[in-house]
Chain A
Amino acid sequence: MRAAESEHPAGAGPGSAGPPPGSAGPPPGSAGPPPGSAGPFGRAARWWLAPAPAERLAALRIAVGAYALVYVVARFGELIATARLPAAQLQPVGVVRVLRVFGVGAPLPAMAAVAIAALTVALLAAFTAGYRFRVTGPAAALGLLWVTSYRNSWGMVFHTENLMVLHALALACAPAADAWSMDRARRGAAGAPAPPAAGYGWPIKLLAALTAATYVLAGVAKLRIAGLAWIDGELLRNQIAADNLRKALLGDWIAPLAIPFLDHPSAFTIFCALTMVIELSAVAALAGGRVARLWALGAWSFHLGVVLLMNIWFPYPLLGFAFFPLLEAERPFSWLIGWAARRGTARDSRVG
């Protein structure tokens, strides 16, 4: 497997997914810009379907799949414990509501819940490796949706997993295993598959749009619930104080910057204004390039601030996975593949 740069040149920038600067046309491996009608809809469709390298989409499949795989494995003990909770505590959310639709008022038998989680682990491994992706991709995404929804159906809805699930669902609908996958390796000498006419750019934009949507929703929620008064900082200060006090009284770690800032209310006005700007400007990240990188840095800093002020961790954005669709995601993978190839060549030459 060769590095992406030598096989499929990277696009113009994150989100834009267009051809590299100075090139005459779309990157190889894409079907080229779509023909379309003139007018706003046609222009929007052409922008949305603009080409991107297959490796960028593959990198997102590997990153999101690997994250989800580690996430489910790491929480397996908790999933087993959840499966044994009393039936009275079940408050179905999302797809778990189908249990009630089918007249099943009780939780799944514990063995069934654990078996679904175990199957999801296997499917996520296949998803990440790109093994028979047309089947395992959607199955893994649906398994992840079920497992995380079931975990959230016991009285407390967590907000750390939403975007991971949405990204997995989007990737499952895309040709994300046309590069850097077992499917691609199995084709071997037959060569690369014919690129789909829709290209590989749209799923990358879709993932970026889903990232943006979650931040916009969070900003809109603050305006709907508290209005512009949210920006004065008092509400956030109370939230941070109450959250940290609960942690302190129950002997848990409190956030390192909470106490220094609680005595300075004006600082929270600044935090709130910055938060609102980051959340409501998320759509701008779809423009790609420097704007997307700047926004991603701002959003990542926001999550770092949440850790420092509230000791609440959102690992998916903190580790950068939420913002990967806004960047040239294939670069670290290309570097790794190139590095491994160079090491292999060096070893062969020493043996020879």
Chain B
Amino acid sequence: MPDRSRVAALIVSVGLIGAALSPLLRRPYDDGFPLSTYPMFAAPRPRQLTLRYPLGATADGRRRYLSPELVGSGEVLQAYAIVDRAIAQRGAAIQALCEAIARRVADSPAHRDVAAIRLVTGTHDAVELLARDRVGAEIEHGRCDVPRSGR
């Protein structure tokens, strides 16, 4: 007659391993927690990406990407949501966000060369832009100057 603790150990073991492997019985995109199907690096992703984001423009026309803190959040996805929402609301919302970013940029010593802020929707080939610096199409939704004292 097997000892009870051994039987319990085997039941717990089979139960937990069975639960951990149970996502195999679900559709691969039917993710869950903590019993995940782990689809994150498996799904196909297009190389082309369309995104709304702010840009700094220098006086000689160079592009400067702006950190989430300058947009108004320390977190990338929240910063993205702020920009996305303002562009979706159009008009005054775009202008208000543009000017708020411009004020923060004016206070940032690392962005002394930035003369203007643009809020854009860009469509880029990710490999072309990152590896070969080939910028895709950008639609400008709003633009404002960075306030500089002494001008």
Chain A contact residues, CB within 8 Å of chain B: 34, 36, 45, 48-49, 93-94, 145, 148-149, 152, 157-159, 161-163, 165-166, 169-170, 173-174, 196-198, 202-203, 205-206, 209-210, 213-214, 216-218, 220-222, 224-226, 230, 235-239, 241-242, 244-252, 254, 258-259, 262-263
Contacts and interface: CB of A to CB of B under 8 A. Distances in A.
A225 B39 contact: yes
Interface of B: 2-6, 8-10, 12-13, 16-17, 20-21, 23-24, 28-29, 31-47, 49, 51, 53, 65-68, 70-71, 76, 79-80, 122, 124, 126-127, 129-132
Contact of B12 (A36, A152, A173): A173
A169 B80 CA distance: 36
7 contacts: A94-B34, A198-B9, A217-B23, A217-B38, A235-B45, A241-B130, A242-B45
B34 A148 contact: yes
Contacts of B127: 237-238, 241, 262-263
A239 B45 contact: yes
Given A217-B36, A238-B46, A252-B67, A173 B6 contact: no
B32 A157 contact: yes
B66 A238 contact: no
A221 B37 contact: yes
Main secondary structure of the interface of A (DSSP, over half): helix
Contacts, number: 180
B24 A217 contact: yes
Given A213-B17, A242-B126, A252-B68, A157 B31 contact: yes
Contact of B65 (A48, A166, A169, A249): A249
A241 B68 contact: no
A159 B40 contact: yes
A247 B76 contact: yes
B3 A198 contact: yes
A235 B126 CA distance: 13
Contacts of A174: 12
